[in-house]
């Protein structure tokens, strides 16, 4: 078992001040694969001080210098794609092919996209005699989750570097191994000492210390809504900027024109697979399928067929579609939500409580579809974060829009239709940060973030870069007097 007792601080690996540690568990075997140190307030202080000391010089780097740095990072990242995929697969149970193509691939796409954004981004503009300047916000804390670790690390670290910020990263202590490799990548690419720092630890200890630290100018947090509220409260006393990407309960509206002959089966099937992807552990997963009442029973039949074709199994098996949940705690949470749905009177069309047959070891769950669900049920309102889909019947388009918006969350929503103009009209009425029409390809240039309890601010491309910049107005800059 590998032991990681050091943190990357000020350009080198320094042994943790804290004596606390935790095991990293392979969710497919329930066995430990590594042990990492858990940082404390002293470790945070060392990392923040290193970032603060590095900020004056790094914030003055030219666009060309930062571009060259990001390009070197991309080269190093690509050279270690297979290693990153293996680490992600081991620590969170993602099928190996999925980990390489999506978990690692999305991180690579964010790096490449930020390079293109930085080439053309306008950091200065003139308004009469006033010069408007966008400058780095300062020292930033980046707190990232376990479910899409490299996606969230790269879509925070890359714009922070592009902006000229210095930073401290706290990855999830449940899935930290890919972040350790990422730190090595940045070191090999020549990121100056103190610009990037990494401290492992819990949210209660390290996350709290970063959020309330007086020398942190901004916190960019991705995680649960509950934890996001705690981060905001901890940062309030120092009036720092808090950027949050939180939970979701995304609606997937199948519009009435999707008849059996013209796309209902395809729309249902893709919706099921999208919901179950990454073992349902995605904050923007389409977990509420809204179906016209006249097509409801047909849709249920297609959904059950699609779910039956999902192969749950070991991450390294070639035919595995989805792997285990991340942890024993997450397994118990998902089981409790399935039990809740049964108690509320919803019908289990497929799946249900317990583990799939033959998978007694590992945090595996049965892909589950609930039918006869009403909007007021807790399984229709709360984020489950597992492969659990609820199917809700609606009467007309007005009812569908109302159901979609009847949620405390607003991260994403999905619209399926044979008529693009109709889909566009519905998309404009949905209160969510990202709307996907007819299952488009993932787009690294689209803004990502939510309304309501799904957070604030946006990530990806120039929208992500905006978040790490302050705006300064210099009046009289062009005046002759």
The single residue of 91, 165, 283, 467 carrying the catalytic annotation is: 283
Count Cβ atoms below 10 Å from residue 318 Cβ, excluding itself.
Answer: 9
Q: Is 276 left (phi over 0), alpha (psi -120 to 50) or beta?
A: alpha
Sign of the torsion formed by the C-alpha atoms of 307, 308, 313 and 316: negative
Structure tokens at 273: 């697979």
Give the integer Cα–Cα distance in Å for 353 and 334: 9
CB-based burial of residue 356 (10 Å sphere; 0-12 exposed, 13-18 middle, 19+ buried)? middle
CB 277 within 8 A of CB 238: no
The distance from CA 37 to its chain's CA centroid, rounded to whole angstroms, is 24
If we measure between CA atoms, which residue out of 456, 463, 464 comes closest to residue 411?
Answer: 456
Sign of the torsion formed by the C-alpha atoms of 223, 77, 314 and 24: negative
Grouping H, G, I as helix, E, B as strand and the rest as coil, residue 420 is helix
Q: Which residues pair with 435 in a beta bridge?
A: 413
Structure tokens at 147: 């479910």
Specify the pairing of strand 368-371 against strand 21-26. unpaired
Give the integer Cα–Cα distance in Å for 375 and 382: 11
Q: Scanning the structure block, which residue is given the tokens 């470790």?
A: 43
The distance from CA 74 to its chain's CA centroid, rounded to whole angstroms, is 20
Count Cβ atoms below 10 Å from residue 364 Cβ, excluding itself.
Answer: 23
Give the integer Cα–Cα distance in Å for 317 and 331: 21
Give the integer Cα–Cα distance in Å for 366 and 139: 44
Is residue 283 annotated as part of the catalytic site, yes or no?
yes
Question: What is the DSSP-derived secondary structure letter of residue 104?
Answer: I
If we measure between CA atoms, which residue out of 273, 259, 249 comes closest to residue 403?
Answer: 249
If we measure between CA atoms, which residue out of 168, 170, 162, 250 comes closest to residue 461?
Answer: 162
CB 140 within 8 A of CB 83: no
Give the integer Cα–Cα distance in Å for 91 and 87: 6
The distance from CA 219 to its chain's CA centroid, rounded to whole angstroms, is 15
Query: Known catalytic residues?
Result: 245, 283
């Amino acid at each position: 078992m590998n032991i990681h007792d050091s943190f990357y601080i000020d350009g080198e690996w320094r042994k943790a001040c804290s004596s606390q540690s935790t095991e990293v568990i392979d969710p497919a075997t329930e066995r430990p694969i590594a042990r990492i140190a858990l940082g404390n307030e002293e470790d945070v202080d060392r990392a923040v001080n290193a970032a603060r000391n590095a900020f004056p010089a790094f914030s003055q780097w030219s666009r060309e210098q930062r571009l060259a740095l990001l390009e070197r990072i991309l080269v190093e990242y690509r050279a270690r794609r297979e290693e990153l995929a293996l680490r992600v697969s081991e620590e969170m149970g993602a099928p190996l092919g999925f980990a390489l193509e999506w978990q690692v691939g999305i991180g690579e796409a964010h790096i490449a996209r930020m390079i293109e954004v930085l080439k053309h981004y306008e950091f200065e503009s003139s308004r009469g005699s006033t010069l408007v300047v966008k400058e780095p916000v300062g020292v930033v804390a980046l707190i990232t989750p376990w479910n899409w670790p490299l996606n969230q690390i790269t879509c925070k670290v890359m714009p922070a570097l592009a902006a000229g910020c210095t930073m401290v990263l706290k990855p999830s202590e449940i899935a930290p191994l890919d972040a350790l490799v990422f730190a090595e990548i940045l070191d090999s690419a020549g990121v100056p000492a103190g610009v990037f720092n990494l401290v492992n630890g819990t949210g209660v200890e390290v996350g709290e210390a970063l959020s309330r630290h007086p020398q942190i100018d901004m916190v960019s947090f991705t995680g649960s809504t509950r934890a996001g509220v705690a981060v905001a409260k901890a940062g309030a006393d120092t009036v720092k900027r808090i950027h949050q990407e939180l939970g979701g309960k995304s609606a997937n509206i199948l519009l009435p024109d999707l008849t059996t002959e013209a796309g209902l089966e395809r729309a249902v099937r893709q919706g099921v697979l999208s919901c179950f992807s990454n073992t349902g552990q995605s904050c923007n997963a389409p977990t509420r399928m809204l179906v016209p009442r006249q097509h409801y029973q047909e849709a249920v039949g297609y959904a059950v067929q699609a779910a039956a074709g999902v192969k749950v199994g070991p991450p390294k098996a070639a035919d595995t579609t989805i792997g285990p949940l991340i942890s024993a705690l997450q397994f118990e949470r998902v089981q409790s939500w399935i039990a809740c749905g049964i108690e509320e009177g919803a019908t289990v069309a497929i799946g249900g409580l317990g583990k799939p047959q033959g998978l007694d070891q590992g945090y595996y769950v049965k892909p589950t579809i609930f039918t006869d669900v009403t909007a007021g049920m807790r399984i229709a309102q709360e984020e489950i974060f597992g492969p659990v889909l609820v199917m809700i019947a609606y009467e007309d388009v007005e009812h569908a829009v109302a159901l979609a918006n009847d949620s405390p969350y607003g991260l994403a929503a999905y619209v399926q239709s044979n008529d693009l103009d109709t889909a566009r009209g519905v998309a404009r009425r949905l209160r969510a940060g990202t709307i996907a029409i007819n299952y488009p390809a993932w787009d690294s240039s689209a803004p990502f973030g939510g309304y309501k309890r799904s957070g604030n601010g946006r990530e990806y491309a120039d929208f992500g870069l905006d978040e790490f910049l302050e705006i300064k107005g210099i009046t009289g800059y062009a005046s002759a007097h």
